[in-house]
Copies of this chain bind each other. A is one copy, B any other.
Amino acid sequence: MKLTVLGSSSALPTSQRFPSAHVLNAHERLFLIDCGEGTQMQLRKCRIKIGKINHIFISHLHGDHVFGLYGLLSSFNLMGREYPLNLYAPENYLPMLLSHLKDFDINLGFEIQFTPLRGKDPVRILDDKYLTVTAFPLKHRVESFGFLFREKSSDRNIIKDCITKYGIPVSSIPSIKKGEDFITEDGTVIPNEELTTEPGKPVSYAYCSDTAYFSRLAEFVKGVTLLYHEATFDRSLSELAQTVLHSTTSDAATTARDAEAGTLMIGHFSSRYDDISALVEEAREIFPSTIPAIDGRTYDLKNLNDSQ
């Protein structure tokens, strides 16, 4: 899985930082998480094929997480899209979206398959061959959800030379990849460990924005490979953070530590910070493996995993 940050600003964008949007590439399928203004331009700048996006997740209904969606849907339409789009958003969003598209006379040539987000407990919202996605509640001024993308265990890797060496037929390969031994024509049992190597460790990614600190969040994202957690403010502004239900660097790092995350990525930075290196340093005091979200940059979760 690879994550590309399209926007790392909070509500007020800056010349360096666009509003919130992340795109996760899992086995060449693209999952867009939040869609702040300018998302489609950032996707083009990063040379990401927008036609490959079939799943869009909206954390909550504040404009800096949604205002790019209208343009993106219009562009899908102009590009002749006909295949369905899966949209996961707070349940009251669908009528708002449809009314706005109607105002602008936009008749989508494709179906929107809408999954409403609601409730106070984690809910599995997607389960396919490669991964599961779970939505869980955050703590913000409006109903807000985080998302956990968890790769499924992949098959063991077969050692190619063994195929010739033991005359393994193609029909036996799937079961060997699942861990079974191979029995040759003369009845010799070749143990699976001789035929295969360990698959890569499955990785996971959690997106938590916007939210104030609450201790249960660490349970929702326990053991995640990469935790993206907003850190709108430095720790000196913890009172402000509590008032507007956002997080400080310390809040993000505490959650990462308690969740035993592999790496913490902080973002959703207030426009008051030109330089965010001090924010990263603050978080590292509590959780050393902290990196900042940087617009346009791509992070390979496998590499983050290997370096743990």
Contacts and interface: CB of A to CB of B under 8 A. Distances in A.
Interface string A127-168: 000000000000000100000000000000000000000000
B11 A40 contact: no
A63 interface: yes
A99 interface: yes
B13 A78 contact: no
Contacts of A62: 104
A44 B13 contact: yes
Interface of A: 11-15, 18-19, 37-38, 40-41, 44-45, 47, 61-64, 66-68, 70-71, 74-75, 78-79, 96, 99-100, 103-106, 142
Given A15-B44, A37-B67, 16 more contacts: A11-B75, A12-B79, A13-B40, A13-B44, A13-B75, A14-B44, A37-B71, A38-B41, A61-B103, A61-B105, A63-B106, A66-B104, A67-B67, A67-B70, A67-B71, A105-B142
A64 B105 CA distance: 13
28 contacts: A11-B74, A11-B78, A12-B78, A12-B79, A13-B40, A13-B44, A13-B71, A13-B75, A14-B44, A15-B41, A15-B45, A18-B41, A19-B71, A37-B37, A37-B38, A37-B41, A37-B67, A38-B38, A38-B41, A62-B104, A63-B71, A63-B104, A66-B104, A67-B67, A67-B70, A67-B74, A99-B99, A105-B142
A75 B63 CA distance: 10
Contact of A100 (B14, B100, B142): B100
A40 B37 contact: yes
Copies of this chain assembled into the complex: 2
**A contact patch SS:** loop
A100 B106 CA distance: 15
A74 B68 contact: no
B75 A12 contact: yes
Nearest to A105: B142
A105 B79 CA distance: 32
| Most chain B CB atoms below 10 A, which of A19, A74, A142 | A74
Contacts of A41: 13, 15, 18, 37-38
A64 B41 CA distance: 12
Contacts of A99: 99, 103
A56 to B, nearest CB: 16
A275 B44 CA distance: 16
A232 to B, nearest CB: 12
Contacts of A66: 104
